[in-house]
Structure 1
Amino acid sequence: MAYADQEMSGNRMVAIVIVALIHVAVGYMLVTGLAIEAAKQVIERVTTVDIEEPPPPEPEDEPPPPPPDQPQTPPPPVAPPPPINIAPAPPPIRTQPTIPPPSPPVLVVPPPAPPAPPSQARGVSPKGQNRWAARIQENYPSRALREETEGTVGVTVSVGPDGRVSGCRVTGTSGSSILDEAACAGMQRYARFDPALDAAGNPITASWSTRIVYRLN
């Protein structure tokens, strides 16, 4: 009895296992079947697109043929357009203003120069010559008197603007140096002159020549 119970328990276990396997297989088939069905529906939704084809165009009406009795008129001849002559643009005309010739230069004639004033130039001239000449001769050198020396001395003097003798030189000796020196000394001391003038009347330095005679009475 115990053996029968054990066998029975083993059979039940096998049956339970088989039933469980069957349930697992059925569940797997259900699950996989549902997944495949869902995938098919998604693919059909994505790939299936209803495209409506446009209706074919209606045939155009053909023009009726011309009646056989009426002659066909040829189309009027088409004349080509006349050629267009494009004339080149004329060169620009440069106008140069007329420049009048320069006027001749105005000849300016200077007015005549005023006449030059008369020249006031003059030479030197002695003033009171007899008086100062007598004084020179009266101042006879004492040595020449003792030696009774006589002679004529030629002198040239320089007369300044003030009319006085500024220089003297012997141009003709008397033969006695005493008389020659006395003649120049007397001219520088006693002689007086009216000075020479230039053209404008200004006094200037000039030369004057004379001779002094020494004679014993």
Structure 2
Amino acid sequence: MSGNKIVAIIIVGLVHLLVGYALVTGLAYSATKKIIERVTTVDIDEPEPEKTEEPPPPPPDEAPPPPIVAPPPPINVNVAPPPVTVVDRPPPPAPVIPIARPAPPAPPAPPPAVSKAKAAQAKGQQRWQQRIMDSYPPRAIRSNTEGTVGVSVTVDAEGKVSACRVSSSSGSDILDEAACDGMQRYARFDPALDDAGHPTTGSWSTRIVYKLN
């Protein structure tokens, strides 16, 4: 086929298509118009909604019922007495455990005793000391000897001198010996006392002065 024929066929086809489209479109429009004319408007009365009553308010909360108390389980009481066992010898008695009692409180300590101790004291010292100095040894008088003798004596429980020693010499044996001899012969004392106040042995010291007039 030549080109002119093909073009002519295409043109013929397009014409048919346009005619067919026009026919179809016109028929559809006329049919639709007829249907609309036939349709009548119908007013529909909608029914009024029914008024619903409000539900009553809920009743107040009631108190919960009391709990169900289950009955206590049955207690099986054994009414049968326990068996009694008879033995030939009774069991030994239980040992007696001594109860330790607290020691009694210690008695209060007695108050400390007041000591009555006292040293020996000269009794009538001026009198007997003057007698010792008046008993000036004759040999010391003849030799014109003077001096001071220190003596330390032991006084017994009766207040008498039981021993004498020269604690400080005069430089003259005659005066030293005369001083101790005079103390044992003339000196008297109140004896020393112990803590209980009983007479006891004590000591005493003094100085004997020998001086010529």
TM-score tier, shorter chain, comes to 0.5 to 0.7
- For structure 1, which runs of at least 5 residues remain unmatched after alignment? 1-94
How far, CA to CA, are the matches of 1:170 and 1:202 in structure 2?
29
What is aligned with 1:207? Answer: 203
Instruction: Normalising by structure 2, report the TM-score.
Output: 0.53
Tell me the percent identity: 59
What is aligned with 1:183? Answer: 179
- For structure 2, which runs of at least 5 residues remain unmatched after alignment? 1-90
Deviation track 1:9-63 (CA, whole Å, cap 9, x = no partner) reads xxxxxxxxxxxxxxxxxxxxxxxxxxxxxxxxxxxxxxxxxxxxxxxxxxxxxxx
Q: Report the CA distance between 1:190 and its aligned residue.
A: 0.6
Q: Report the CA distance between 1:116 and its aligned residue.
A: 3.5
Q: Report the CA distance between 1:201 and its aligned residue.
A: 1.1
Moved more, 115-124 or 184-193: 115-124
Bigger radius of gyration among the two: 1
Higher helix proportion (structure 1 or 2): 1
Selected match of 1:111 from 107, 110, 133: 107
Deviation track 1:153-188 (CA, whole Å, cap 9, x = no partner) reads 111111110000111111111111110010001000
What is aligned with 1:75? Answer: none
What is aligned with 2:160? Answer: 164
Instruction: Normalising by structure 1, report the TM-score.
Output: 0.53
What is aligned with 2:24? Answer: none
How far, CA to CA, are the matches of 2:97 and 2:180 in structure 1?
79
Q: Report the CA distance between 1:195 and its aligned residue.
A: 0.4
How far, CA to CA, are the matches of 1:173 and 1:159 in structure 2?
21
Say whether residues 1:136 and 2:124 are aligned partners.
Answer: no
Q: Report the CA distance between 1:99 and its aligned residue.
A: 5.7
Deviation track 1:113-150 (CA, whole Å, cap 9, x = no partner) reads 33233111111111111111111111111111111101
- Aligned residue pairs: how many? 126
Indicate the RMSD between aligned Cα atoms, in angstroms.
2.2
Q: Report the CA distance between 1:103 and its aligned residue.
A: 2.5
Counterpart code for 1:191: A
